[in-house]
Amino acid sequence: MREREAPSTEPLIDRSGEAPWGYANNHPIAVSRFARDALQCADNLPDHPWLINVCSDRYLFGVVFFAALLQGRVNLLPSHRSSDALGALRRAYPDSAIVDDETAAVADSSTRLADPPADLPPIDTDQLAAIVFTSGSTGTPSPHPKTWGLLSDFRTIHWRRLTRALEDAGTSAGEVTMVSTVPSWHLYGLEWTLLLPSIAPVSVHSERAFFPKDVVDTLGSSDTPTVLVTTPTHLRALLKAPPPARPVSVTICATAPLDTNLAVQAERRLGTRILELYGCSEVGTLASRRPTEGPGWSFFDYFQLAFSENGLTVRAPRLEAPVELADRFERLEGGRFEFLGRSNDIVKIAGKRESLANLNALLLGLPGVQDGVIFLPQRGGEPSERLAAFVVAPDVEPQDIRREMARRLDPAFLPRPIRMVDAIPRNRTGKTPLGTLTSMLDARAVPLDD
Amino acid sequence: MNQTPEQSRMAVLIVDALNLEDIDPADIDPEELMFGDEGLALDSIDALEIAVAIAEEFAVHFSAKEETTREAFATLGNLTDFVMKEVNART
């Protein structure tokens, strides 16, 4: 029988020290170097239990993330990094310190150990590794704690899935190079670009490949098979850039539903096979599918799924409590699931979820606003990537509405466009069907000075 | 906050690319910050969309690795200067 009381640990890094952890300016950085940097940084971290890790450099973010784990500190990962968002987090966690690239570099170099060991001690699986925050339009960020055990399990599951995808792409086992348009402080980026290299032969380019040219150049510079970690928005932008010099073995795409047409074009353009992922901040990556091979999602075996009147509930060995998904799914044959859409009130923009009810309450509470509605236009069955708003506020300038909303919201949720109207047509229940709103929006897409 | 003709053209490109129909391009202050909590309050997806539109219109490509890129995206004035410099360097 399994001894359940024994303390359980998982290694921070389980790879050969000579292997490349990643690349900075195309120069390899060895796993042993990363381990030493993490140990050194751990000795020099600010003396606070909560560390708001806002490093922009992927390598330094990882150094601080692992250094915090070594010291029993917790990485706080805000959903965005405006001064307001960081201020809200500081108020919620008074005993916290902000660690950015500059402090990380100082912490890393201020005490150079003469001969630092490169072996990192294993970490308790119960230890709280990070809290991922989602923005709340009420002003208080919602916390989603992640234990080291859960994150450690994720890297194993993800590597298993990626191995299968690489095999399907005809890539034999061996080193792969990863290029990511997704920052590592987004949970999706954390799971796939920081945790994977700690156990698998995956080396990540430190620079966040952001503009199409960066992505294409970095992908083309590698002489090992490449994996691109990205989003539908970036794939769309890449269609308008020259193709990379070498085909991309596997492209991982998440944060928003990927349109099948876009998937087909991107596969052709990049010479790649796309593996689309589904996940949420409450858990992490949960399921995958090949978007060009039908609608069915396969949830990872790690999760136990249960349908209830509230939708799909997910349990997992190292998930503290069951999680009810905010999205609706329907069971298909063969153990797959079809994604039916977000629960009516929830929108997901730039990988972040928000309640439309909250956004609309915020809009209606602005000075001078008599009526208004924020919605996600739906075209050809696909939700668009940005919110739109109709506002009735005869005495207010549209730019004032924008400014007031920008002060209170993550810019991702700012409607584009905000259109001033005389009235909003409402049915007997006081609602306006989404189809009507979208048609109103499309009916007059001209500047307001007409 | 008068815009130069080049800045006006860039302002129209930005408003079109981002679907900011509530903004009159002529109202964008060339010196005002475009990203973050201020001004147009744009985010990184907007930066990507602006970059794609500029690549199509001017065949100028940005790189996040260049120090100058962050500065270029700060204001309408900077962005226009950056793109025009690249365009003029070609001719």
Chain A: closest CA distance from residue B40 (Å)? 8
Question: With an 8 Å Cβ cutoff, are B63 and A399 in contact?
Answer: no
Q: Token pair of A279, please?
A: 């996940």
Chain A: closest CA distance from residue B80 (Å)? 18
Domain-by-domain residue ranges, chain B? 5-90
Give the residue from chain A lying closest to B34, CA to CA.
Answer: A411
Q: How far is CA A387 from the centre of its chain?
A: 19
pLDDT tens by residue, A230-239: 999 899 999 9
Could you tell me which residues come within 8 angstroms of residue A260 by beta carbon, excluding any fewer than 6 positions away?
A291, A292
User: Which neighbouring-strand residues pair with A337?
Assistant: A297, A331
**CB-based burial of residue B32 (10 Å sphere; 0-12 exposed, 13-18 middle, 19+ buried)?**
middle
Q: Token pair of B61, please?
A: 């490509």
Which among A209, A446, A447 has the least Cβ separation from residue B24? A447
Can you give the pLDDT at residue A94? Answer: 95
pLDDT tens by residue, A367-388: 899 888 999 888 776 778 889 9
Question: With an 8 Å Cβ cutoff, are A416 and B19 in contact?
Answer: yes
CA distance A62 to A185: 9
* Chain B interface mutation, best of A80, A206, A210, highest count of B Cβ atoms under 10 Å: A210
Give the residue from chain B lying closest to A210, CA to CA.
Answer: B64
Question: With an 8 Å Cβ cutoff, are B37 and A406 in contact?
Answer: yes
Can you give the pLDDT at residue A5? Answer: 56
- Which of A282-314 are b and which e, b meaning 16 or more Cβ less than 10 Å from the residue's Cβ? bbbbbbbbbbeeeebbbbbebbebeeeeeebeb
Give CA torsion, residues B31, B32, B33, B35, to 10 deg: -130
**Chain B residues within an 8 Å CB radius of A410:** 43
Profile chain A (450 residues) by mean pLDDT over runs of 10 residues. Answer: 67 92 88 90 93 94 96 94 85 95 69 59 96 73 93 97 95 89 94 96 88 92 93 92 94 90 95 96 95 92 89 92 89 88 78 82 87 86 84 89 84 89 79 83 57
Structural domains of chain A ordered from first start: 9-342 (3.40.50.12780), 348-443 (3.30.300.30)
pLDDT tens by residue, B39-73: 788 888 899 999 999 999 999 999 887 888 989 99
Through-space distance between the first and last CA atoms of chain B, rounded to whole angstroms: 29
The three-point CA angle A371-A374-A380 to 5° equals 135
Question: With an 8 Å Cβ cutoff, are A402 and B23 in contact?
Answer: yes
Which among B22, B47, B61 has the least Cβ separation from residue A213? B61
Question: With an 8 Å Cβ cutoff, are A416 and B18 in contact?
Answer: yes
Can you give the pLDDT at residue A138? Answer: 53
Residue A97's SS3 state is: strand
Which among B23, B43, B56 has the least Cβ separation from residue A240? B56
Which residue has tokens 């047509």?
Answer: A425
**Chain B residues within an 8 Å CB radius of A234:** 48
DSSP B75: B
Which residue has tokens 């290299």?
Answer: A197
Can you give the pLDDT at residue A448? Answer: 40
CATH of B5-90, one of 1.10.1200.10, 3.40.50.620, 3.50.50.60, 3.40.190.10: 1.10.1200.10
* Chain A interface mutation, best of B16, B18, B27, B44, highest count of A Cβ atoms under 10 Å: B44
* Chain B interface mutation, best of A83, A135, A214, A446, highest count of B Cβ atoms under 10 Å: A214
**Chain B residues within an 8 Å CB radius of A446:** 21
Q: Find the mean pLDDT for residues B25-30.
A: 92
